[in-house]
Amino acid sequence: DAMVIQNPRYQVTQFGKPVTLSCSQTLNHNVMYWYQQKSSQAPKLLFHYYDKDFNNEADTPDNFQSRRPNTSFCFLDIRSPGLGDAAMYLCATSRDLGSQETQYFGPGTRLLVL
Amino acid sequence: AQKITQTQPGMFVQEKEAVTLDCTYDTSDPSYGLFWYKQPSSGEMIFLIYQGSYDQQNATEGRYSLNFQKARKSANLVISASQLGDSAMYFCAMREALSGGYNKLIFGAGTRLAVHP
């Protein structure tokens, strides 16, 4: 089945130690998104790639970076995780950017910062 | 102003009963999409159902239907014959066509549904 895959499902890191979360998709979608979701809140968009074009949300901290080496893979790098970065990180894809386009989400990675 | 409003923080329903989760939205764009997602405790966001602003009929997907009332700007999710596995957080979301072709998915605060046996 075509899907969005995220690895790992759980990630523990130390305060200030860089961490990378990965996302891959077999849907061949043009757009890939990264969301941060804290407990009992709605997901918050961090950034997205349309093909190779990177779009950062205005309020995304500089601590968060992303890479998309090819259509299938997208990475979220947190350069110096703080305790406030502990959250669920969700990757999503959509075929295109139109208002009618459905976003499909991966299972998420729960990040714990010690 | 909030774009997506879900006024029910929590809902309870008896197994096999139907339940309606409320969602109202605000947009001045004639072209938009409305989505419902289910998020169980595992964390995955599962796409349930979609309604386009120009769709004449209410969307249905199995036990899920969307009660779309365009004039009232509401897009309520109806789950028929509730099952224990329906217990989860439910998010209503909207995409509108902004200038430049870029738009993003805007989520409501969510409604936590508990299905009781």
Whether A110 and B45 lie within 8 Å, measured CB to CB:
no
Distance (Å) from the C-alpha of residue A108 to the closest C-alpha of chain B?
A: 6
Q: Which two tokens stand for residue B61?
A: 């997907």
Whether A108 and B45 lie within 8 Å, measured CB to CB:
yes
Q: Alpha carbon of B114 to those of B15, B30, B105: distances in Å?
A: 10, 35, 25
Q: Choose, out of B42, B90, B105, the residue to mutate when testing the contact with A (most A CBs < 10 Å).
A: B105
What pLDDT is stored for residue A97 in this prediction?
82
Percent of residues, chain A, with pLDDT higher than 90: 87
User: Do residues A89 and A107 touch, judged by C-beta distance below 8 A?
Assistant: no
Question: pLDDT, tens digit, for every residue of B35-70?
Answer: 999 999 999 999 999 999 999 999 999 999 999 999
Mean pLDDT, residues B79-87 taken together: 97
CA distance A78 to A81: 6
* Res. B82: pLDDT tops 60: yes
CA distance A75 to B97: 27
CA distance A112 to B89: 22
* Res. B29: pLDDT tops 90: no
The verdict on whether omega for the bond into residue A8 sits within 30 degrees of 0, i.e. cis, is: yes
Percent of residues, chain B, with pLDDT higher than 90: 82
What pLDDT is stored for residue B30 in this prediction?
86
What pLDDT is stored for residue A101 in this prediction?
87
- Top-confidence residue, A103 or B29: A103
Whether B110 and A88 lie within 8 Å, measured CB to CB:
no
Nearest CA in chain B to A36: B43
